[in-house]
Structure 1
Amino acid sequence: MPKLISDVLAPGSLAALSQPTLAADDGLVLRPWRLADHPAVVAGYSDPAIQRWHCRAMTDDEAAAWLATWPEHWRTESRAGWAITTDGEEVAGQISLRSLQLIDGQAEVSYWVLPAFRGRRIAPRALAAMSTWAFGTLGLHRLEVRHSVENPASCRVAAAAGFLFEGVQRASLLHADGWHDMHVHARLDSD
């Protein structure tokens, strides 16, 4: 069945690019994951707050496998993820484009920050830097942040990075303690 509209981005648009290192303000650097980041990933998914909102934990072996998958996600254009670092080396958190849909020009964003780095506005700065690249270089049209209504910190991150609140998805995501309503925030390439 023929489509009546063009794809926003053609398949191959992401894979044709080398994954960049992105600079945010105050020395914050988003860089591709390295296998040597293993301890930070294990620490992240061992943190109770990250486990609560991301609904997962990782063993050492799972963390190593998770790190090894990022180049393949890039090649298959299914996801794109970066280590958020304070100086290009020390990992403070992660940010990723997940549910990446090139033909629709959309992606959902995921992020977390390790406990020792919280309170420094790292997540909103990383989100702003990654969004600038996703709109300006990749050419996406829409980015979304979805988070539990019980997670006000993520709400503040989205708002600080220019993601407008759009509404509530009722009982949209299953967490360990049951179904959570989810806030939806979005930013467009025209914002």
Structure 2
Amino acid sequence: MLNHWYAIKHKPSNRSIDWIGPSLVTIREGVDIIYWGGGPSYMIVHDWDEEVQIIKDYGEIDDMAYHAIDDLYDQFTLDFPPKADLRLSGGWLAPNGKFYPCAYSEHLRIAQDLAFIHYKEKGDGAQRLEKEGWAKFYADGTCLLPSSYLYAQDGEYTKAQLDTLGDLLVLATKEEAEVYVNHIKEEIENATRLGKG
């Protein structure tokens, strides 16, 4: 079956939030449903003008043409690479100190995109980032820095990563995000105590 693929931004009608996206979706003619990445997850659209902005039309692809869909995902990643942005959320902290936020449960997808953009590698993006010294952040400020027994890294933060941790601490304090503040403080204290960074 042919599916029409688009890059969109969306805004659920029942929430007063900013536009989310871009996201790669399929939209079927005459159906008020958007399928994320071709399905099975979907969003019912109540008002197309208020809830959906089409950013790019990728055309139709047969849903059985796996290589074409794989190429489409690569093109989407090149067209809309993850952007570094310092904000309180989950995400990936690069060795150079850039923070790439991600929404709930999107660590693996963002890791795939980052590994493809930075290292031209497909496959397990999270594993590649961890091997390169990236730190994984959860939405509450909890951080996982790969330890030396897992990879050939020293398990320490870079100076740039520690600087970003400090910036996140300042931001979390301003926004009174107590749980985030506590986790970041703990991470900085552990890094200092263990001589990391």
TM-score by length of 2: 0.29
Q: Relative contact order, CA 8 A, sep 6+: which one is greater?
A: 1
